[in-house]
A and B are shown apart, each in its own frame.
Chain A
Amino acid sequence: MRRTMAKAALMTALNLSAFALFGTALLAFIYNQTHERIEKSVEAEKLRLISQILPHSLYDNDIIKDTLEILPDPLLGNEGKTTAYRARLDGKPSVVVLEAVAPDGYSGKIFMLIAIRENGELAGVRVVSHKETPGLGDYIDIAKSDWIRGFDGKSTAQYNDQDWKVKKDGGKFDYMAGATITPRAVVKAVHKALQYFALHRDALFAGGIR
């Protein structure tokens, strides 16, 4: 009796492992088939967003090639290396586009592109990807609302530390009632990215035109 039970349990375990193995293999195969295309479409989306926040009048260099590797930094929230795109006009630095991560969104990380002019003013901010609640927290996405344009032209010179908060917390930034965690995370991340820029301004533009 005990033997047959042990045998049945073993068969069940083997069966389950076989399915798990098959499922994993299938997913690994599909991932391998698709990840290059996915990376390409994410890259294309990123460039589309960059072109939205970087007016063509601000640069004449090839921003896709004029890049700098950014090491992980708590002020940017990035865990791996990211790329900074540098825009120049007549060889002079004009705008740098940084990738930043807000780690404290309502449901996970919010990935953003932040364009900062050489004088420390924001040229624009765009959310690249997020998992915020559809219809509630997703107004940070330019496709859903113009909220993110509220950062245009802002700087740490114009707003002090207390101002870099949503209005509910005593700051200067709008939010939509019912979803405060999301804009709070975005405002905080943008503020930190500006601090990063202030600390590393010269290094970010150094290296000449490659």
Chain B
Amino acid sequence: MSYQEFRDIFYNGVWKQNTGIVQLLGMCPILAVSTSVVNGVSLGLATTIVMALSGASVALIRQLVPNEARIPVFILIIAVLVTAIQYLMNAYLYSLYVVLGIFIPLIVTNCIVLARVEAFAAKNPASQSAFDGMAMGLGLTAVLAVLGGLREIMGHGTLLSGIDLALGPSAKSLVITVLPDYHGFLLAILPPGAFITLGCLIAGKNWLNQRTESRQARIEPVISAA
């Protein structure tokens, strides 16, 4: 597989076909968990791992599955993977499980995992599929981080609260109080706040896209005239 191919998959996953703000898949966990940066990034990374692994496993067995039975088989594979990860983390990485454990069952409800498996892994070799899952997951993580950050600042006036749960008590000093003596803004923490903030992010990305397009349109005639 060429470098160019990897780059295209990465660009596609993180920006062009971003799951959070372009494909708009998996809204339920995105809206529920993006109340803070730490929560958002935790769910994002857990989803990234599941997406990379499920992409690779489906790509490996795709020739064995008859077309009519592929969706149930894919769901089965994703469910087995998520449950296996949950058991293994619970047994061997208990402190991480205490932090992430609550998010893991949420991953199964995220239809982006099934969507990518169906749209990409079912037609491509294992390494590309694993990389596609990872890129899509990282794109989702980035959106969750931004969304979580905005909601956390608006809702609580802090950033990175709860990071000590992920990185140990010494990380407590990393919590940033952006707005001191802030009384909190409930709407930002509740699901409607998530919808509004996500809407703003989507608008922002569309604006960026339009700006680049109109710039290219302006540059091109100049080139043709010259």
Seen from chain A, the residues whose Cβ lies within 8 Å of a Cβ on chain B are: 8, 11-13, 15-16, 19-20, 23, 26-27, 30-31, 33-35, 37-38, 41, 45, 131, 133-136, 138, 143-144, 177-178
Contacts and interface: CB of A to CB of B under 8 A. Distances in A.
Contacts of B66: 8, 11-12, 15
Contacts of A177: 186
A13 B151 CA distance: 47
Interface of B: 32-33, 35-36, 39, 43, 64-66, 68-69, 72-73, 76-77, 79-80, 83-84, 87-88, 90-92, 94, 98, 102-103, 105, 162, 165, 186, 189-190
A183 to B, nearest CB: 16
B84 to A, nearest CB: 5
B91 A23 contact: no
B76 A19 contact: yes
A134 B35 contact: yes
B91 A27 contact: no
A34 B35 contact: no
A37 B69 contact: no
Contacts of B189: 135-136, 178
B83 A38 contact: no
A135 B39 contact: yes
A135 B73 contact: no
A115 B84 CA distance: 34
A178 B92 CA distance: 35
A38 B90 CA distance: 6
B72 A134 contact: no
15 contacts: A12-B68, A15-B65, A15-B73, A19-B73, A20-B76, A30-B87, A34-B91, A34-B92, A38-B90, A38-B91, A133-B32, A134-B33, A134-B35, A135-B36, A178-B190
Contact of A30 (B36, B69, B84): B84
Given A13-B69, A16-B69, A41-B94, 8 more contacts: A15-B65, A15-B73, A23-B80, A31-B87, A35-B87, A38-B90, A134-B35, A144-B165
B83 A27 contact: yes
Contacts of B36: 135
Nearest to B64: A15
A101 B77 CA distance: 33
Nearest to A25: B80
Contacts of B88: 30, 34
A110 to B, nearest CB: 12
Top 3 A-B pairs, shortest CB-CB distance? A135-B35, A34-B91, A37-B91
Contacts of B102: 131, 134, 138
Contacts of A133: 32
B35 A41 contact: no
Nearest to A19: B73
